[in-house]
Structure 1
């Protein structure tokens, strides 16, 4: 099968930006890349975009090209009748709920006074600029509904949400990615389950800076970044009770994550879910054995075969004698890098209160084994869970 010339062009232009030293030339390449990606999305040439990403052999080229395609897919520029332009930016709010199972009624949650208060919190907490407007789809999305979407579909979804909510158009459910929640095993009586859902919306603004202020600072300074993070924390604290009320849960049973662009927000939702699940695993393992988090150290090791990481296994080792106390597992998530996966696994362990966390970077193999890092008193070895 012959690789598309457009795929080579995308990679070549992305690589050329790294050698570019003239601002005017750099701006021209950025414009050419955005126009090319936008055309491929409009013509639904998803395969050629995927080809280009597969051709990007070095990590920098892949990340830069992928980030650009995601940004263009999440944003739609609209030419108004007066000749001005507005920018439509698709975002998601990840929500993690701890309950005995959310009833499968995605259209019944986002409504009523709690929904209105949730919408108002964007403005009152400083996430939504004064010169921007926002619409939110009154539908609570399951991860399976959004995980199937490609770049071209997300680009279409941005327009579909705006048409359905603002213009009142009759938009088919599948165009809105509202295909229904999959059937899931009900929790046993008294059993709590951790579930991830998404609230989806779009911001309409006059320029890029206004749209981006929703999800990242518009000034590249430490002060701007710190201020943005603080605004985000304030917003999540304000929004959490409203979301909990919509779900019929206590505020302590809901985690609301800062709104982000569609692709980054989807990944961050998965990170939040798996961080909480790993936190629960580690806490439960220590409580079951009557151990303090400070009595163990943790070793994170990648496991897999043929050079591919399938999962990460965490050994909890006694600080007294180095014996294996418990083992935890976190499967690899294809859309989250190894570096980011290790980072959130590590953070979950630190949040538990484990002060010593180490990482082995060499790929390990074996079934049911947890590798212990070498110490001054013990050679490298493994332990098997009993």
Structure 2
């Protein structure tokens, strides 16, 4: 919105200080004037002031002094008000400069306002906190965009290479080519759908309804049972009715992602996955625990980041999108919950989802 230029806040404060000072000085002068007029009428005025006309005597004797006092108050109020306003608004100038730098794209700048806590210090600290979170968010978005571009470019580059090979060798068997193209395109579609789901979950644009996490766990297990049987992984469920509130579709996706991750990143044979639901005080808890290779805390700390497949984990031959746990964390946060990943002492991973409990 375009607005015309107006007087600065410093000028407004200066005029306000000067006006208040002149008003404060005028009131006692007015009181003195009233006192002198009443004194003359009662015959108590000084001899040099008492003449034939009491009104003109007051004007000649008191008005010059009052005018000099008011002129002094005006100059003193303007000068003192200008200096005082500048000193009081100095922190605001630092905040304004930091805001201007942030608007230009420099998010690493911080105000770090010194001194004791006051309104300006609280505003500066809140602004620094906002800048830190915004810088972290922008950095995460940039990493996500770079990783997404890389992941999407890979299947496209493979498709192009397969097509180039087919064009160079017209007599090549097309059945194998079609199978490989189908697999590559399927992976690209899966990745695109995962990116869309991740974006929608982060926007929190969904209707909240009562949901039982125990039923979602059973549905996820039923869906993924064929995959678990092919990989020799045993699925076990236990727990009680666990009411929560949120999007049933997103919470089912969250549960499915955790169970799927536990299946594909498991032991080569005789692996297990335990899915448990429970209530703890005011929290609905879903845990997914699986056997597998030993994981370090540093590796586990990065697993929920987009496109992280867990360096050092078992090579299962499964080409996932690298977004399963990232989507799970985003869905959890969109439901005002927390997702905690913990390495199991004997190997594998423990994923714990805590959501607000529906009473």
TM-score normalised by the chain length of structure 1: 0.22
Between Structure 1 and Structure 2, the one with more helix by share is 2
User: Larger Rg: 1 or 2?
Assistant: 2
TM-score normalised by the chain length of structure 2: 0.23
Q: Which has the higher contact order (CA 8 A, sep 6+)?
A: 1
